[in-house]
Amino acid sequence: MPHTFLGLDEVAGGFERSAAVVLPVPYEATTSWGSGARLGPRAILEASRYIELYDPDYDCEPATELGIHTLPALELSRAGPTPAMAELRDAYARIASACGDRFLVMLGGEHSISSAAVLAAADRHEERLTVLQLDAHADLRAEYEGTADSHASAMARVLDRADVVAVGVRGVSREEVDASRGHGGSKLIWAHEMQGGDEWMDRALDLLGPKVYLTFDVDYFDPSLVPSTGTPEPGGGDWYPTLRFLKRVFAERDVVAADVVELAPTPGLSAPDFLVAKLVYKLISYRYWDRLR
């Protein structure tokens, strides 16, 4: 099979016919504990080649109905985090422009890459975006370990241009809590608030504006599901409630683009890679629910 998302060939995954585009960005420079996020995009693509294309939600094969094109991996500058993010913002803007109305999904790599993509997406939309951040961490530090372009600062970098609703947070510093409380555009939904019912979904949806950029750090999931990440935190999200929530987000808001980041593959443990690949497929399917129903 081709080394593309879902193993799609040039017919099913050609750019001209595809409704969605996958952009791998294997960048890692500021991880603060476990490393390996640079290997995440390749692991996602490899695992995706073994996913069954049929989706019972839609009684069809969304991949063949929609077309999903996989771009070559985007390698960023090694001159430092700030030049790398500037390079990514420019490249992402040009790629998004070429994609037009196609749904662009970026695969990371560490979470710092999300800030560049969000800022580039904000430049394309007159209406202020809301970033829906599914994440164990707030990523609101002004800087971390000497750089403002750290994975721990990704959402702090975008608050001037977009609101941020973080869901599933459970590992956070006092600095970040104060930063969120002091900024009207930042809202935190704690992981413990998500236990025992779906009321948190209504609250999160009420906080979202009409246009949403989705950033999904896989440490959002409980590490029993996804242990393969650099900073796992106990008590995270489960598979089916998360899908119910995401399905509602895509049905009730205009999700303009997305990224999935921070998978750090564990040798000999393929289940997390497969889960994340399936998540990406679900995001694309949900984006085009009205064409598939």
Q: Which tens digit of pLDDT belongs to each residue from 38-77? A: 999 999 999 999 999 999 999 999 999 999 999 999 999 8
Whether the per-residue pLDDT at 15 is higher than 80: the answer is yes
pLDDT band at residue 34, thresholds of 50, 70 and 90?
low
Q: How many Å is the maximal CA-CA distance in the chain?
A: 51
Lowest mean pLDDT among 74-88, 89-103, 265-279: 74-88
- Which tokens sit at 262? 């921070």
Q: Which pLDDT value is given to residue 2? A: 77
Whether pTM > 0.85 for this model: the answer is yes
Tracing tokens 């209406």 back to the chain, one arrives at 127
pLDDT band at residue 4, thresholds of 50, 70 and 90?
very high
CA distance readout (Å), 244 to 50, 66, 289: 24, 21, 13
Q: What is the DSSP letter of 54?
A: -
Whether the per-residue pLDDT at 32 is higher than 80: the answer is no
Task: With residue 129 as reference, give the H or E element that holds it.
Answer: strand 129-134
CA distance 264 to 272: 9
pLDDT in tens, 189-221: 999 999 988 999 999 999 999 999 999 999 999
pLDDT band at residue 23, thresholds of 50, 70 and 90?
very high
Q: Which pLDDT value is given to residue 1? A: 66
Handedness of CA 203, 207, 209, 214 (dihedral sign): negative
* Fold observed for domain 5-292: Arginase; Chain A (3.40.800)
Instruction: Single out the residue of 230, 208, 198, 204 nearest to residue 217, CA to CA.
Output: 230
Beta-bridged to residue 261, according to DSSP, are 217
Beta-bridged to residue 144, according to DSSP, are 147
pLDDT in tens, 150-184: 888 999 999 999 999 999 999 999 999 999 999 99
The backbone torsions φ and ψ at residue 279, rounded to the nearest 5 degrees and listed phi first, read: -60, -45
CA distance 224 to 236: 9
Q: What is the DSSP letter of 13?
A: T
Domain boundaries, the chain: 5-292
- Report cis status (omega within 30 of 0) of the bond before 109: yes
pLDDT in tens, 106-158: 999 999 999 999 999 999 999 999 999 999 999 999 887 778 778 889 999 99
